[in-house]
Amino acid sequence: MQMSAIGLGLDTTFDDTSVAILRGKREVLANLTLSQYQDHEEFGGVVPERASRKHLEVINQLIAVALKEAQLDFSGIDYIAVSNHPGLLGSLLVGLTIAKSLAYTLQCPLIGVNHVEAHPYANVLTHGEMPFPVLHLVVSGGHTLLIQAKAHFDYKIIGRSLDDAAGECVDKVAKMFGHPMPGGPVVDRAALEFYGDTYDFPRPLLHKNGHNFSFSGLKTAMLRFREKHIENSSTNGNNPKPLPEEGPVLASFFQSVLDVLIHKTFKAAEINGLKNISVSGGLAASRKLRSAFEAEAARKGINLFYPPPNLCTDNAAMVTCLAAHRYEAEQFDDLTLDAFPNLIT
């Protein structure tokens, strides 16, 4: 099996269309992502039907630009990688259909990838091979997972969010305060600028329910907090109370999210005797999160890995990197490969 095989990878799981070309396991020849955030803004959230249509409109052009950037044509591609779960079914089907057509036409292997399993591979692109055993914290818009990995493809999920993902909670709270998607960068800026201890918001399941998370109670607490202050400011006659300054509120909210993520992750590492922690997923682009994790890792003597911000958020390079490992192990799929909205492990 060629060690410097070239893979073309597609990711259309949610609202980003991404195409990457990878040589070997780590050499990114192209990694292009088009975000749809603005296309959904007027609806206040991602509209699935619109998302699939947008993927369809841009994906072929994105593939052409990626090939140009990599100075290749289709004949230089050795395998096709595609995220086939989890995600919006219509969006997944766009990527999958194109991936199958390419694999069939080019007569090359097709490799279906679990998008969430691929997030930690952003750390392989950044730092080199994973130091197994490793504990992955994946904090994306759709998932909050703690994954214990012994080797490539040999892992188990030891913690997950029982309701909202951390990123989803951050996006929804930012939206309550009138900010468009994605809410993470706004909340992160507030958390860097203001102290996180002005308000004491809940830290759900901090010492309960093993390694699992829950963020919907915190989201509701933020909604109540906001409603209460809006009420106080509007029902106080001639002397309306000003609304609290937003920065310290968002900073305190994010401190709650971080306290839970940090406590649960490092506790899981301790209990399972793991010395390596990798953080990935869109929320890991937060500078506040990264410095808080760094400080705790230094205190606990843990090796911490996280990718640069552009590899934290959804991208096809991480998908192709995982596929490159599957290519080496000759784990191929065939043209009956299907798409699934749920996470399958």
CB-based closest residue to Zn ion: 140
- Nearer residue to ligand KG4 within complex by CB, 84 or 140: 140
- Residue in 90, 112, 141, 204 binding ligand KG4, rule: CB under 6 A: 141
Token pair 């951390």 is found at 166
- If you ran DSSP here, which 8-state letter would residue 169 be given? H
For residue 64, the minimal CB distance to Zn ion (Å) is 24
For residue 265, the minimal CB distance to ligand KG4 (Å) is 17
**In Å, how far are 65, 74, 116, 311 from 104, measured between CA atoms?**
21, 12, 26, 29
- Nearer residue to ligand KG4 within complex by CB, 7 or 167: 167
- Nearer residue to ligand KG4 within complex by CB, 11 or 77: 11
Q: Is 311 in the site for ligand KG4 (CB under 6 A)?
A: no
For residue 135, the minimal CB distance to ligand KG4 (Å) is 18
Encoded amino acid at 35, one letter: S
**In Å, how far are 202, 230, 242, 251, 259 from 199, measured between CA atoms?**
10, 16, 16, 9, 14
Q: Which one of the spans 23-31, 136-144, 147-155, 327-335 is the region binding ligand KG4 (CB under 6 A)?
A: 136-144
Residues that bind Zn ion (CB under 5 A): 140, 314
Q: Is 123 in the site for ligand KG4 (CB under 6 A)?
A: no
- Residue in 281, 319, 322, 326 binding ligand KG4, rule: CB under 6 A: 281
DSSP assignments along 173-188, one per residue? HHHHTTPPSP-HHHHH
Q: Is 184 in the site for ligand KG4 (CB under 6 A)?
A: yes
Q: Is 307 in the site for ligand KG4 (CB under 6 A)?
A: no
For residue 229, give both structure tokens. Answer: 């202050």
Q: Is 148 in the site for ligand KG4 (CB under 6 A)?
A: no
Residues in contact with ligand KG4, counted by CB under 6 A, come to a total of 20
For residue 180, the minimal CB distance to ligand KG4 (Å) is 10
- Residue in 11, 117, 164, 188 binding ligand KG4, rule: CB under 6 A: 188
Burial 170-204 (b: 16+ CB within 10 A, else e): bbbbbeebebebbbbbbbbbbbeebebeebebebb
Q: Is 90 in the site for ligand KG4 (CB under 6 A)?
A: no
Burial 114-153 (b: 16+ CB within 10 A, else e): bbbbbbbbbbbbbeeebeebbbbbbbbbbbbbbbbbeebe
Contacts 24+ apart (CB under 8 A), 223-227: 223/176, 225/199, 225/201, 225/249, 226/176, 226/177
Rounded Cα–Cα distance for residues 264 and 338 (Å): 34
For residue 62, the minimal CB distance to ligand KG4 (Å) is 17
Q: Is 170 in the site for ligand KG4 (CB under 6 A)?
A: yes
- Residue in 30, 257, 285, 311 binding ligand KG4, rule: CB under 6 A: 285
For residue 257, the minimal CB distance to Zn ion (Å) is 18
| Beta pairing class for 276-280 and 154-160 | unpaired
Query: Which residues in this chain contact ligand KG4 in the complex, by CB under 6 A?
Result: 14, 140-142, 167, 170-171, 182-185, 188, 281-283, 285-286, 309, 313-314
